[in-house]
Structure 1
Amino acid sequence: MKTQHIFWAELLNPSKITRRALAGAIPAFIVIGLFLMMPYSIDKDWSKYWMLRPLFIVPLAGAMGGLFYHFMDTCRKCNGWNRLFTISISVVVYIVGVWLGIVLGLDGTLWN
């Protein structure tokens, strides 16, 4: 019973969860920030604050990818192919999540 308690305490450690979520959100914020800094012709029909939507959604998607990486931690502690497979799946989930966040964030503005 004690090992199960240690497992859940380690898995739900707030400092580790926050660190991994930030580690996923910061690169996503940088990517969308660089993408929004490119010169575009802005349509007059768009809201004055149209950039806020992608600046919130994309880092949120990156944070979810970081949380997925955190919750796969028990599988990553295995050796051999299991560890390589888990890291590969985590990277793919992060990239697809950020890509979907970019599509969702820019839908209706730059990607209409």
Structure 2
Amino acid sequence: MVQQNDFQKQNVLTAAAGRRTLTGAAFALALMALFLAGVQNPDPAWGKFWMIRPLLVVTMAGALGGFINYMLLHYHRRLGIHKGIAVVLSALIYVVGLWLGSVLGLVGTLWD
């Protein structure tokens, strides 16, 4: 009976981490899609599918930021960090991750 409870608890934690990761990825994807929608006349040298790279890279950066947010907020006591500091730190990590993902995704196109 104890093993079944541990298994059920593990599924709940995995689902929570997945939701946080998907939320981070969805927010990043929406932000980058909104940014790229403003491009009126892209350079023909960029190719036909130039938007795919920034969308994928920024989405992955957002997913990683969401997962780091989950890890910091779930394990803040084990790490010895106050919850308020963990929230601010995870938000800062998410924003820096989105910025770096945007730079890596847009290099060679809009980021020159």
TM-score range, shorter chain: 0.7 to 0.9
Structure 1 unaligned regions, length at least 5:
none
Matching of residues 61-76 of structure 1 within 5 Å: 61-72=61-72, 73-75=74-76
Paired position in structure 1 for 2:28:
28
| Greater share of residues in helix | 2
Moved over 2 A (4+): 9-14
DSSP 3-state at the match of 1:39: coil
How many aligned positions are there? 104
% of aligned pairs identical? 38
How much is the aligned-residue C-alpha RMSD, in angstroms? 2.5
Structure 2 unaligned regions, length at least 5:
none
The answer as to 2:78 corresponding to 1:88 is: no
State the distance in 2 between where 1:101 and 1:87 align.
Answer: 21
Report the TM-score when normalising by structure 2: 0.81
